[in-house]
């Protein structure tokens, strides 16, 4: 596997008039990566996707795709790129084979290789049984599959998927996630989505953009490490006062969340805390690890209440 990144983004900036929609972001995508790209509405996520796909020129910065500068050599750079926008670019009065054949010609796949390219894309996307059907008569899930098939027809090094499961039912979502995971074994993928469980299900890296800035970047292993916080959620039927809890040697810090509900940080083993609750007849009702999920990291970073321990984990 080549050590050269498939995508290298340096100091990317995009202005709309005086408004800075994307503010000096940099990251890389390696072969085999499935990068979850997250952000609230208006954060600059779609603008970034449009710049990466060559549909929007940056105000400043550099985008290199598979070793080719997108601004200097756009056609060569885009040849290594497959793109599925949020609304798939489908011609619904064409059948699947007609449409994919048209896309293959747009991609300048040699005529003698088109049939093989179509068969491979349909096989990977589960479209073989609907190849003669009109796209407009397919379900939303199958239309998304056709959209992904057009993005991978030319075997690009990089695939960008913008909200690929929006509007799908749970079964269709699971099928598309499985397809993305399979594609990730042989491509680099950027997955832009609002669905946090989707990122945790299929991505090995995650980054969050907010107000145009990249505010978080980590691999999933790093996220799991963050979940071991040494803090515990404690619910007691006969709760002592918060002052009493903070005077116990085992407890480094206790915070009250309700009349019987606490978050405690301990200096020792959780079994000691459980034993302490039993010995003091506190009526232990709940004792679980207080973990940082991707959801509460996202909410914290995008609500303006970020603390330093969940900022950039891994400069991408």
Predicted local confidence at residue 1, as pLDDT: 44
Predicted local confidence at residue 308, as pLDDT: 38
Predicted local confidence at residue 3, as pLDDT: 63
- Give the integer Cα–Cα distance in Å for 232 and 248: 15
Q: What confidence tier does 269 reach under pLDDT thresholds 50, 70, 90?
A: confident
Do domains 7-220 and 229-289 share one topology? The answer is no
Average pLDDT over residues 39-58: 89
Map tokens 């998304």 to a residue.
Answer: 144
Asked if residue 305 has pLDDT above 90, the reply is no
Residue 173 C-alpha from the chain's centroid: 15
Tokens of 57: 């020129």
Predicted local confidence at residue 292, as pLDDT: 64
pTM greater than the 0.85 cutoff: no
Q: What confidence tier does 19 reach under pLDDT thresholds 50, 70, 90?
A: very high
**Would you list the DSSP string of 208-246?**
EEETTEEEEEEEHHHHHHHT--SEEEEEESS---HHHHH
Task: Convert the pLDDT of each residue in 194-252 to its tens digit.
Answer: 788 888 888 999 998 999 999 888 887 766 665 556 778 889 888 888 888 888 888 88
Helix (H, G, I), strand (E, B) or coil at 264: strand
Q: Which of 9-13, 145-149, 257-261 comes out lowest in average pLDDT? A: 257-261
Average pLDDT over residues 54-74: 93
Beta-carbon contacts of 164 under 8 Å, excluding residues fewer than 6 positions away, are 84, 144, 147, 148, 176, 180, 191, 193
Predicted local confidence at residue 315, as pLDDT: 38
Please state which CATH class domain 229-289 belongs to: alpha beta
Query: Taking the domains of the chain in order of start, what are their residue ranges?
Result: 7-220, 229-289
CA angle 143, 39, 49 (to 5 degrees): 55
Predicted local confidence at residue 147, as pLDDT: 94
More confident residue, 223 or 55: 55
The answer to whether 266 touches 273, Cβ cutoff 8 Å, is yes
Tokens of 167: 């509007």
Asked if residue 257 has pLDDT above 80, the reply is yes
Largest CA-CA distance found in the chain, in angstroms, rounded: 80
The CATH number assigned to the domain with range 7-220 reads 3.40.50.300
- Give the integer Cα–Cα distance in Å for 56 and 59: 9
Bridge partners, 64 (sequence order): 8, 69
Asked if residue 160 has pLDDT above 50, the reply is yes
Q: Which of 20-29, 134-143, 197-206, 286-295 comes out lowest in average pLDDT? A: 286-295
- Give the integer Cα–Cα distance in Å for 48 and 212: 9
**Would you list the DSSP string of 23-89?**
EEEEEEE-TT-EEEEE--TTSSHHHHHHHHTTSS--SEEEEEETTEETTTSHHHHHTTEEEE-SS--
Share of the chain above pLDDT 90, in %: 45
Share of the chain above pLDDT 70, in %: 91
Asked if residue 311 has pLDDT above 70, the reply is no
Q: Which of 5-19, 74-88, 227-241, 295-309 comes out lowest in average pLDDT? A: 295-309
Asked if residue 307 has pLDDT above 80, the reply is no
Which element (helix H / strand E) includes 195? Answer: none
Residue 66 main-chain phi, psi, to 5 deg: 55, 40
């Amino acid at each position: 596997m080549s050590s050269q990144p498939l995508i290298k983004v340096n100091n990317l900036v995009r202005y709309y008039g005086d408004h800075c929609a994307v503010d000096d972001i940099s990251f890389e995508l390696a072969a085999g990566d499935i990068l979850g790209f997250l952000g609230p509405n208006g954060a600059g996520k779609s603008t970034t996707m449009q710049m990466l796909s060559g549909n929007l020129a940056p105000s400043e910065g550099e985008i290199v795709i598979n070793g080719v500068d997108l601004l200097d050599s756009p056609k060569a750079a885009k040849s290594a790129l497959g793109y599925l926008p949020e609304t798939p670019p489908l011609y619904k009065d064409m059948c699947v084979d007609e449409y994919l054949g048209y896309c293959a010609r747009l991609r300048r796949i040699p005529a003698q290789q088109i049939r093989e390219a179509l068969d491979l894309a349909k096989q990977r996307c589960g479209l073989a049984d609907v190849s003669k059907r009109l796209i407009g008569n397919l379900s939303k899930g199958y239309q998304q599959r056709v959209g992904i098939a057009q993005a991978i027809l030319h075997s690009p090094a990089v695939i960008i998927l913008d909200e690929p499961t929006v509007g799908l039912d749970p079964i269709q979502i699971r099928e598309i996630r499985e397809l993305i995971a399979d594609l990730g074994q042989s491509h680099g993928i950027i997955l832009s989505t609002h669905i946090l469980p989707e990122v945790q299900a299929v991505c090995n890296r995650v980054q969050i953009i907010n107000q145009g800035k990249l505010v978080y970047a980590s691999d999933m292993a790093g996220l799991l490490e963050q979940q071991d916080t040494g803090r515990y959620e404690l619910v007691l039927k006969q709760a002592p006062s918060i002052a009493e809890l903070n005077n116990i040697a085992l407890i480094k810090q206790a915070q009250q969340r309700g009349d019987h509900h606490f978050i405690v940080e301990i200096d020792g083993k959780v079994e000691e805390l459980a034993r302490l609750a039993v010995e003091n007849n506190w009526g232990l009702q709940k004792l679980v690890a207080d973990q940082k999920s991707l959801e509460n990291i996202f909410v914290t970073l995008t609500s303006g209440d970020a603390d330093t321990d969940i900022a950039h984990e891994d400069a991408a």
